[in-house]
Structure 1
Amino acid sequence: MNSSSQSSSSIYWAFSISCFVAFTLTLVQVPDWLSAFWPDWIALVIVYWSLLVPSRIGPLAGFIIGTMLEVLFAKTFGVLSAGLATLAFLVNISHLQLRVTSRWQQIFLVVFLVAIYKLVNLWFEGMVDGAKITAQDWLSLIGDLMIWPFINIVLDELRRALKIR
């Protein structure tokens, strides 16, 4: 097996493992006061892998993971998929700029991109299901802001352990 296919295989294993953990964390029951601030784990994992390996993880991966999330939560088809595909696309086209920013700048840019993801989701939910946008819909961005550095560190360690470049 050559090194590029081994690396590609490692990327998909690492992506699958991190998505499984993100799905699990998304399903965790938390107290009501914490649920509003609970991060968008799937979106942050998509951002990380789209940022680090944009040639392998992109809008198609976001669409597939979004479809799995829709099945999991019994949501209308295409709402979460379109949001995650848009998020992956935005990260892919701006990955060079995101990589050269400082850690603090990157945190705020990632939260801005996740906010765009939430806006797309809320917009589609409003069109399809008639959902209203409330201030509570945006509180999870605070959780995203606080948890991104830890996700970055943990997934960097996973990437180093699997020798993914």
Structure 2
Amino acid sequence: MSRQRNGGGIVIATVLLAFALALWPLPEYLGLFRPNWLALVVCYWVLEGSGGSRMGLGWAFVLGLAADLVFGTLIGEQALRLCVIAFIVLRFRARLRFFTLLQQAFAVLALLLNDRIVVLMIRALSGEGMPGWEFWVAPWIGALIWPWLYVLLDDIRLRLRSRDGS
């Protein structure tokens, strides 16, 4: 039982940290290059989740709705985006788990670029204008961050697992 609580606690802590990093004030010109921290954390937990830290489509949807409320976006936009990412990671989880970190970074880049395409579709349907070239930079930064984020989260997860005696 303690494994489930600690597993869930680390997921909650990392999701809250992702929200904090996403809300951290940056100058406008740097804000365009901010990676989608929540998507990166959801990718990790869907990819590595087991036991009490299991993240799936339901949690991705709930986190997306919370993100819609926190970020002030169209209700359901973040939920749709995170569900698409979680679905693709769940679908290819068995393969992605055995990729090297470099291969995973390219897979995460593809996921984040796909996320940008979903955003473009939502913008087109809502009548918003099309963004500039800077719109496409954040996924590349997210892919560059992925190996370090993966190693950090994996280290924390494994330390907690060994501390709990499993």
Q: CA deviation at 1:131?
A: 3.9
User: Are 2:62 and 2:79, in contact at CA under 8 Å, matched by a contact in 1?
Assistant: yes
- The question of whether the paired residues in 1 share the 8 Å contact of 2:102 and 2:147 is answered with no
Q: What residue number does 2:67 align with?
A: 69
**Structure 2 residue matching 1:163: 3-state secondary structure:** helix
Structure 1 vs Structure 2 CA RMSD? 1.9
Cα offsets for 1:64-88 (capped at 9, x unmatched): 1111111012211111100101101
CA contact (8 A) 1:40 1:140 kept: yes
What does residue 58 of structure 1 align with? 56
Question: Aligned residue for 1:112?
Answer: 110
Q: Which moved more, 1:113-122 or 1:84-93?
A: 113-122
Specify the alignment match of 1:10 in structure 2.
6
Q: Figure out how many residues of one structure are paired with residues of the other and give that number.
A: 161
Instruction: Give 5+ residue unaligned stretches, structure 2.
Output: none
- Could you report, residue by residue, the CA deviation over 1:40-65 in whole angstroms, capped at 9, with x for unpaired residues? 10010000000001672111111111
Larger deviation, residues 117-126 vs 43-52? 117-126
Deviates more, 1:7-16 or 1:91-100: 7-16
Question: Is the contact made by 1:37 and 1:143 (CA closer than 8 Å) also made in structure 2?
Answer: yes
TM-score (norm 1): 0.88
- Shifted more, 117-126 versus 77-86: the winner is 117-126
Q: Is the 8 A contact 1:82 1:121 kept in 2?
A: no
Which TM-score applies when normalising by structure 2? 0.88
Q: Which amino acid aligns with 1:51?
A: L
Alpha-carbon separation, structure 2, partners of 1:131 and 1:97 = 37
> Could you say if the C-alpha distance between residues 77 and 9 of structure 1 is closer, same or farther in structure 2, counting changes exceeding 3 Å?
same
Q: Does 1:156 align with 2:157?
A: no
